[in-house]
A and B are shown apart, each in its own frame.
Chain A
Amino acid sequence: MPMASSSFNSYYQNPSTPSASGPTNQNAINSVFDQFRQPSDPLDEFSIDATMAYFDALGLQLDDVTLVPLSKVLGSESMGEISRKGFTDGWMQLGADSLPKMQEKLQELRQSLDTNEEYFKEVYKWAFGWAKPAGSKALPLDSATEWWRLLLQSRFGDNGHLERWLEFLNEKWKKSIPKDTWNMFYEFILSAKADPTLTGYDENGSYPSIIDAYVDYYRNLEQ
């Protein structure tokens, strides 16, 4: 992992961070899990309802981007799915065994996401596999639209490219989003931050053709 993410890495390497008061208790984590598991759920899994209740208890809203890194930490395979193993491993690594400590850690995750570009990129790329329907290679356009807004709006919303991109996709593309497009759009929106008029964009460069088509669309609008 690059240096920039070392602050996050420290979670894994050093479970007893200063905020943790004493060694983390795996049993305590398990009992938090059981506290939210619904009686009708399988023994080692949260149903959607259980996940919602748990997020609610953490004070995590569904429109809060932090739910993505949290899902990643807890080894969630798709939206709303959390297993006991993922839950305990995740919290053990972060070093939190009670709801208040978990809230504290959640705060730290939020901050890492805001300040650490490399970490954000890692979460962003991970999100594609997590958000897409199981067995499908691509992300349906409407959910891609939602996730892009959630992940990128606050970071890259300023120059209007995000909204225009979504408008372009819904007007012209009208198909689901392949992984390469998802990944490369991050690179694109990052470079558009430095070059909002896209004057330096090279159609012969390595971006996928869908982004070329977007740039063409954008330039036609601007004329």
Chain B
Amino acid sequence: MPLHPQTPNREDLEQTWQYLENGISKIMNDLQQGMDMKAYMGIYTAVHNFCTSQKAVNSSSTSLHHQGGVHRGAHLLGEDLYNNLIHYLTAHLAGLKEQSGQFADEALLGFYIREWDRYTTAAKYINHLFRYLNRHWVKREMDEGKKNIYDVYTLHLVRWKLDLFDSVQKNVMDGVLKLVEKQRNGETIETAMVKSIVDSFVSLGLDENDSSKSTLDVYREFFEKPFLEITNVYYQLESKQFVAENSVVEYMKKAETRLSEEEGRVHVYLHPDIMIPLMKTCQRVLIQEHKTLLHDEFQVLLNNDRQDDLKRMYNLLSRITEGLEPLRTKFEAHVRKAGLEAIEKVANENADDNLEPKVYVDALLEVHEKYSSLVKIAFKEDTEFVRSLDNACREFVNRNKVCKAASSKSPELLAKYADSLLKKSAKAAEEADLESKLDSIMTVFKYVEDKDVFQKFYSRMLAKRLVHATSASDDAETSMIGKLKDACGFEYTNKLQRMFQDMQISKDLNDSYKEWMNNTLDEESLKTAVDFSIQVLGTSFWPLTPPNTPFNIPQVITKTYDRFQTFYFQKHSGRKLNWLWHLCKGDVKATFAKSSKVPFTFHVSTYQMAILLMFNDATSYTYEDIESTTSLSRDYLDPSLGVFIKAKVLNIEPASSKVGPGTTLTLNTDFKSKKIRVNLNMAVRAEQKQETEDTHKTIEEDRKLLMQSAIVRIMKSRKKLKHAVLVLETIAQIKSRFTPKVPDIKKCIDILLEKEYLERLDGDRLGYLA
């Protein structure tokens, strides 16, 4: 290589520059051939020498580029060198620009990348060689605040941008965009090319205020902007054509694919900066502009249970703002309709009285289950969709065909279903299974508005289970009460828990009664004492009513009756015992039957026991005899006798007449039974129906009291309150039990005004009267 064998005269610019230009040119054009250390050091020294020489020889006339003509020492010398370098670069780039004219598209990209690599590599070397210039002259100029002076490397970039980039970038971008379009059309492209272009564009972004920093300005303007524009046009066209020829579902798949492709594109060869605007553009063209189409399809997908497609639609629409709102509204309406239809179906298939609680609750649960899993799987448990589901369920749980007559039907049936699960029965559920069924009761319970109705029925049936010892499992009972407590608070289950306590206390009471008997009775009395156990239950916790028939306690048990009272009042003086005969039962041994040597054991109610015991004295009585001996009202007497006749324990005369006055009842000594133990204590159906009605009636009364006490409570703490505010607060307080109606609240206010708990003040306000 024809380098000057020795370093040039340090004070001669022309000579120095020629020496340098030779070296730079070699670096720029032939670097791959290598450069020896000596030559490299020569250039480095020449720059150093020139910059440090005291006097430059050249005059303005001989200066190659500097036109100032005034000597200013080393300062001036640096500037000369700098300007000569600019001149060299401009000329080099002008050459490249000319060459680029021969290329187009991919070839142009190849050329650009090649030259860019060569140029920037050279720039690094040259920057190193001119380090002395950078450190002194350039630094000084920059410190003085001169604009447009850069370190030598940056100067290369600035010149590239000005002398080449500005005129070729359009063509280069055209090449890039054509390449990307090819890829979008399914061809394979050399993505590294695009990536190199991106890197080059990014490198050209210089911070005007601090050249050591880079900005994305150049890249954004010359790459991102045209890229996004072309993307927009491409997908606009494609999506329009696609939806014209394909189904909406196919389109959703297409859009989904396109979106993930574009995302992948960013990761593979684009700058991460484009991710947000690129996704925005794609979402706008691919989703936003077709959202009406998607919204319209939603109902179709729902109707056909297309879970995967619903998920796809959710994912697409969740990417745009306000995209899901119409879906939520439709979803809510759809679920409500599904629930109403399911209930209408079971209501039509079962007459009102025969509707099995299980059938009803299962129908509610099925709809809930179906759509709650849809929300989970397709809608990512989106809180808004969960809310829509809840709204819909609350609607169809509380207002459906079965509830038409009374909104309290849902909680009633739900409580009855709970009873059927918790009661001993032949097909008792497995424990784990039972637990999950109790959980599903809670699912429906959550939506029930009249929680007080559920409470009423539940506590009545729990009382029955406990009193008759028909509860299947203590654990299950406790678990269910725990769930109710979690849902509604301590107050809601307080009485239920007290009922359990009473059962425990009664157990202990029976033990100490036995002990007491052993201590107080003589042997003979002990021997003849009737087997007896008792439950003593607190009146205020148990939803039990005293019997509504008079009853003469049969002689046989009066001793026991008196004895227990003596014992109990000794223990708790001042307490009162109400005997609930209608809930009592007993076993009697029957020795009258000729067919069996072993006596039968009849399981009977206390009322039935009183009737049977009469037949110890005679074998035949008139209806009127029995009526006057037992004192039972006919509501109780007739069904009790009915069971005996049906079981053929007693014969009626005249034969096959209805139980009633004028008939005679005779012990049937031909009584037969396959079993030794015979259960004759059967609940009367009419009684059950009556109970349901009573329960509803007490609910109305309780609600009035609940509202009044809420009003008084509020007024007591607030003293004076606007009427409207009082109504709202009352609703808020009571809502967790049931949804009170405003007119009912107003009626309660009227009552409280009349009773002078409240007074009217001026301007719609009410005052509390202590």
A122 within 8 A of B: no
- Smallest CB-CB separation from B756: which chain A residue? A137
Evaluate contact between A137 and B754: CB separation under 8 angstroms.
Answer: yes
A184 within 8 A of B: yes
Instruction: Please choose the segment from B77-85, B251-259, B692-700, B742-750 that sits at the chain A interface, where 4 or more of its residues have CB less than 8 A away.
Output: B742-750
Instruction: Please choose the segment from A14-22, A105-113, A204-212 that sits at the chain B interface, where 4 or more of its residues have CB less than 8 A away.
Output: A204-212
Evaluate contact between B746 and A180: CB separation under 8 angstroms.
Answer: no
Residues of chain A within 8 A (CB-CB) of B749 are 208
A129 within 8 A of B: no
Residues of chain A within 8 A (CB-CB) of B753 are 178, 180, 208
Task: State the CA gap A179–B755 with chains docked (Å).
Answer: 11
Which residues of A (200-223) have their CB < 8 Å from a CB of B? 203-206, 208-210, 212
A183 within 8 A of B: yes
Q: What is the minimal beta-carbon distance from B25 to any residue of chain A, in angstroms?
A: 94
Per DSSP, chain B at the interface is helix
Task: State the CA gap A115–B764 with chains docked (Å).
Answer: 25
Residues of chain B within 8 A (CB-CB) of A183 are 760
Task: State the CA gap A210–B747 with chains docked (Å).
Answer: 9
Evaluate contact between A205 and B723: CB separation under 8 angstroms.
Answer: yes
Which residues of B (711-746) have their CB < 8 Å from a CB of A? 722-724, 727, 742-743, 746
Task: State the CA gap A179–B754 with chains docked (Å).
Answer: 8
- Smallest CB-CB separation from B754: which chain A residue? A178
Residues of chain B within 8 A (CB-CB) of A205 are 723-724, 764
- Smallest CB-CB separation from B764: which chain A residue? A206
A178, A204, A212 interface centre (most CB from chain B within 10 Å): A204
A180, A184, A210 interface centre (most CB from chain B within 10 Å): A180
Residues of chain B within 8 A (CB-CB) of A206 are 722-724, 764, 766
Evaluate contact between B743 and A203: CB separation under 8 angstroms.
Answer: yes
Residue in A179, A180, A184, A209 whose CB lies within 8 Å of B747:
A209
Q: What is the minimal beta-carbon distance from B387 to any residue of chain A, in angstroms?
A: 26
* Interface size class, chain B: 10 to 19
Residues of chain A within 8 A (CB-CB) of B746 are 208-209, 212
Residues of chain B within 8 A (CB-CB) of A180 are 750, 753-754, 760
Task: State the CA gap A179–B753 with chains docked (Å).
Answer: 9
Q: What is the minimal beta-carbon distance from A87 to any residue of chain B, in angstroms?
A: 32
Residues of chain B within 8 A (CB-CB) of A209 are 743, 746-747, 750
Residues of chain A within 8 A (CB-CB) of B723 are 205-206
Task: State the CA gap A217–B746 with chains docked (Å).
Answer: 17
Task: State the CA gap A212–B743 with chains docked (Å).
Answer: 9
Evaluate contact between B724 and A204: CB separation under 8 angstroms.
Answer: yes
Residues of chain A within 8 A (CB-CB) of B722 are 206
Task: State the CA gap A203–B744 with chains docked (Å).
Answer: 12
Q: What is the minimal beta-carbon distance from B503 to any residue of chain A, in angstroms?
A: 44
Q: What is the minimal beta-carbon distance from A186 to any residue of chain B, in angstroms?
A: 12
Task: State the CA gap A183–B766 with chains docked (Å).
Answer: 14
Q: Mark A162-188, 1 if CB is under 8 A from B, else 0.
A: 000000000000000011100110000
Task: State the CA gap A204–B727 with chains docked (Å).
Answer: 9
Task: State the CA gap A212–B764 with chains docked (Å).
Answer: 15
Residues of chain B within 8 A (CB-CB) of A208 are 746, 749-750, 753
Q: What is the minimal beta-carbon distance from A153 to any residue of chain B, in angstroms?
A: 25
Residues of chain A within 8 A (CB-CB) of B750 are 178, 180, 208-210
Residues of chain A within 8 A (CB-CB) of B766 are 206
Q: Mark B759-770, 1 if CB is under 8 A from A, else 0.
A: 010001010000
Task: State the CA gap A178–B723 with chains docked (Å).
Answer: 19
Residues of chain A within 8 A (CB-CB) of B742 are 203-204
Task: State the CA gap A179–B746 with chains docked (Å).
Answer: 16
Q: What is the minimal beta-carbon distance from B681 to any residue of chain A, in angstroms?
A: 48
Which residues of B (462-479) have their CB < 8 Å from a CB of A? none
Given A209-B747, A209-B750, A210-B750, A184 and B760 touching (CB < 8 A)?
yes
Q: What is the minimal beta-carbon distance from A200 to any residue of chain B, in angstroms?
A: 14
- Smallest CB-CB separation from B748: which chain A residue? A209
Q: What is the minimal beta-carbon distance from B756 to any residue of chain A, in angstroms?
A: 9
- Smallest CB-CB separation from B759: which chain A residue? A180
Task: State the CA gap A206–B764 with chains docked (Å).
Answer: 6
- Smallest CB-CB separation from A138: which chain B residue? B754
Q: What is the minimal beta-carbon distance from A5 to any residue of chain B, in angstroms?
A: 15
Q: What is the minimal beta-carbon distance from B731 to any residue of chain A, in angstroms?
A: 11
Further 6 A-B residue pairs, CB within 8 A, beyond A206-B724, A208-B746, A208-B750: A178-B754, A204-B742, A206-B722, A208-B753, A209-B750, A212-B746
* A-B interface, 4 closest residue pairs, ranked by CB to CB distance from nearest: A206-B723, A206-B764, A180-B753, A209-B746
Can you list 14 residue pairs at the A/B interface with Cβ under 8 Å? A178-B753, A179-B754, A180-B754, A183-B760, A184-B760, A203-B743, A205-B724, A206-B722, A206-B723, A208-B746, A208-B750, A209-B743, A209-B750, A212-B743
